[in-house]
């Protein structure tokens, strides 16, 4: 094993605040809190000059050796001993490259998400809604899966409140959580309008992709708050064209207004509370997002988009083939 050297310990060492230098006739006494040490030197001026440089800081070890050339062979040993005694700290912190403010990262993330959606997903569900080829069962299945997400939303958001956040962020999250309470009742009304029993919907088992979306959001809320905040816009972004097509589809195919109206009303509530901007509001409170964090969040965003596409396909494949929709209730 290679021994640790002074250059491994510090980039630019400096005496800690509170270190006192006392000049003696044969060297220096260094006092710090309740301890002190003495350094004996033949050439007192050289040692004093070196100690003054350490008091000032901001010089690399190479620069210290260049400035104090006569003392250069001893500098590594002195720094290692001073560090062992807890007398030194770091004085130069390189500026991280590639960091973004939370707000700038949000705008780049929205662009990344839009490009990912455009490149990788052509919505079979939305296209079927537009050209009126979407099976009625798939639309009701969509409402069932949507109900599950909306019902679970408060429990998925709640773990984010357990982190040590600034008071402003805590209040934003609390308000967001409160605004999501009891929205599942609107979706119950929607499903009741198409003859789905609603008294046992609490036992609904979601499709795998729906469960994966919910589980991921809950895990991020508990374990990776940055990803949680960044992903919220995917769940809350408005779909004006979708709801227009939904209403037109239902009118033309004889599906009662009581089905699509609560779904549209829930979307309007999201708009009223500016839920589309919740990611921006939360990320704007973050001063810096490192390149590593940016990459992690982008991976999570891409995974969420891919899972949403998978969810649509699962809804079409499972519910779209049922002439009479049967909710996934096995209790």
pTM beyond 0.85: the answer is no
pLDDT in tens, 108-131: 999 999 998 888 667 888 888 889
Lowest mean pLDDT among 27-36, 141-150, 305-314: 27-36
Mean pLDDT, range 8-21, rounded to an integer: 89
Q: How confident is the model at residue 296 (pLDDT cuts 50, 70, 90)?
A: very high
Determine the 3-state secondary structure of 290 from DSSP: coil
pLDDT surpassing 80 at residue 304 = yes
Whole-angstrom CA distances from 14 to 41, 70, 82, 173 are: 20, 20, 10, 42
Mean pLDDT of 193-197: 93
Alpha-carbon 92 to chain mean position: 29
Residue 88 predicted with pLDDT over 50: yes
The tokens for 147 are: 């109900």
User: Any alpha helices (H) in the chain, and if so which ranges?
Assistant: 6-9, 44-56, 61-67, 72-84, 102-120, 124-130, 136-157, 167-179, 184-192, 208-223, 225-236, 240-253, 257-272, 278-283, 291-318
> Quick one: pLDDT band at residue 3, thresholds 50, 70, 90?
low
Ordered by where they begin, the domains of the chain are: 6-90 (3.90.930.60), 102-318 (1.20.910.10)
Q: Tokens for 76?
A: 């590594």
């Amino acid at each position: 094993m290679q021994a640790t050297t002074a250059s491994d310990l510090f980039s630019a060492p400096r005496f800690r605040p509170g270190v006192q230098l006392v000049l003696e006739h044969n060297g220096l006494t260094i006092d710090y809190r309740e301890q002190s040490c003495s350094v004996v030197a033949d050439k007192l001026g050289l040692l004093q000059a070196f100690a003054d440089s350490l008091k000032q800081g901001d010089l690399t070890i190479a620069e210290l050796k260049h400035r104090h050339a006569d003392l250069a062979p001893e500098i590594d040993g002195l720094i290692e001993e001073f560090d062992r005694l807890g007398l030194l700290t770091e004085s130069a912190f390189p500026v991280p490259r590639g960091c973004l403010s939370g707000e700038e990262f949000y705008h780049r993330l929205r662009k990344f998400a839009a490009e990912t959606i455009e490149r990788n997903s052509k919505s079979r569900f939305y296209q079927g809604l537009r050209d009126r080829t979407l099976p009625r069962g798939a639309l009701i299945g969509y409402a069932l899966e949507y109900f599950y997400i909306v019902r679970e939303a408060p429990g998925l958001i709640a773990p984010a409140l357990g982190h040590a956040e600034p008071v402003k962020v805590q209040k934003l999250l609390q308000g967001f959580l409160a605004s999501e309470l009891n929205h599942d009742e609107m979706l119950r009304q929607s499903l009741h309008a198409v003859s789905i029993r609603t008294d046992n919907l609490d036992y609904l088992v979601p499709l795998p992709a729906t469960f994966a979306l919910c589980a991921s959001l809950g895990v991020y809320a508990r374990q990776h708050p940055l990803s949680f905040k960044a992903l919220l816009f995917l769940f809350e972004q408005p779909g004006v064209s979708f709801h227009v097509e939904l209403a037109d589809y239902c009118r033309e195919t004889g599906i009662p207004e009581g089905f699509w109206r609560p779904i549209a009303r829930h979307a309007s509530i999201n708009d009223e509370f500016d839920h589309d901007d919740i990611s921006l509001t939360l990320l704007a409170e973050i001063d810096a997002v490192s390149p590593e964090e940016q990459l992690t969040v982008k991976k999570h965003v891409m995974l969420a988009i891919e899972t949403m596409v998978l969810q649509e396909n699962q809804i079409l494949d499972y519910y779209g083939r049922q002439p009479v929709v049967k909710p996934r209730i096995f209790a």
